[in-house]
Amino acid sequence: MAQQTDATEELLSYVRDVSLRDDDVLRELREETAQLPGGTAMQVMAEEGQLLALLVRLTGARRVLEIGTFTGYSTLCMARAVPADGQVVTCDITDRWPAVGAEYWKRDGVAGRIDLRVGDAVDTLDALLAERGSRTFDFVFIDADKAGYPVYYEKALELTRSGGLLVIDNTLFFGRVADPRADDPDTAAVRELNGRLSGDERVDLSLLTMADGITLARKR
């Protein structure tokens, strides 16, 4: 029986050669982001952006919610994947970094599909619940401050329709979740959410050992 294959640099290079579909807009946004403080660590991998787009298309999502925009690379990938009359609502604590991506959204012709909300994520999620009601999003991507993950998950689940998909990034958190000596607030919050998800009968669940851990949770 096959076991987990070690993702060596050579193997990752091969995977990118045979499966990554890149273009100038995506590549240039990644390159600009990499020059920012923490840019390389905070940006999703190109392969993950491609996976998000595929999942949006597979689920037929028209209404997408993103918690944590940064420079909007994942936002761009998902905005490309929704239909022309679809929408990605993305939220961030500041407009400083999303302003980087906004130029690429315009250049790619998808800016009209993106609704950027700036402010505290909990306040934004509460506002969306008041504005749109529960069960109004088809797809949610959570990739924000890790200490907030347990709260973001609960509010996002309320905003997601039955059969909708939640995708949660960094659920392996650099491997720290498996290290009992790691007890910082971010690691503790991700570990808490993982433990909660494992027994959450409201969702179907899979944790992918891709990138820094990607959890898929389908709302029942």
What's the CATH number where 17 sits?
3.40.50.150
Is 104 inside a domain boundary?
yes
Please determine, for residue 41, whether its predicted confidence score (pLDDT) is greater than 90.
no
**What's the pLDDT score for residue 1?**
57
Q: Give the number of residues written for the chain.
A: 220
Is 2 inside a domain boundary?
no
Partner residues linked to 170 by β-bridges: none
DSSP H or E run through 216: strand 214-219
Rounded to whole angstroms, the Cα distance separating 214 from 73 reads 16
What's the domain range around 132? 9-219
Please determine, for residue 19, whether its predicted confidence score (pLDDT) is greater than 60.
yes
Is 1 inside a domain boundary?
no
Is 170 inside a domain boundary?
yes
79, 52 in Cβ contact below 8 A? no
Rounded to whole angstroms, the Cα distance separating 49 from 46 reads 5
Please determine, for residue 60, whether its predicted confidence score (pLDDT) is greater than 80.
yes
Q: What is the DSSP letter of 43?
A: S
Question: pTM for the full model?
Answer: 0.96
Is 124 inside a domain boundary?
yes
C-alpha distances in angstroms, 100 versus 14, 26, 39, 71, 107?
30, 13, 12, 6, 12
Is 3 inside a domain boundary?
no
Q: What is the mean pLDDT of the chain?
A: 96
Percentage of the chain exceeding pLDDT 90 = 95
The total number of structural domains in the chain stands at 1
Rounded to whole angstroms, the Cα distance separating 147 from 185 reads 6
Please determine, for residue 119, whether its predicted confidence score (pLDDT) is greater than 60.
yes
pLDDT tens-digit profile of 123-169?
A: 999 999 999 999 999 999 999 999 999 999 999 999 999 999 999 99
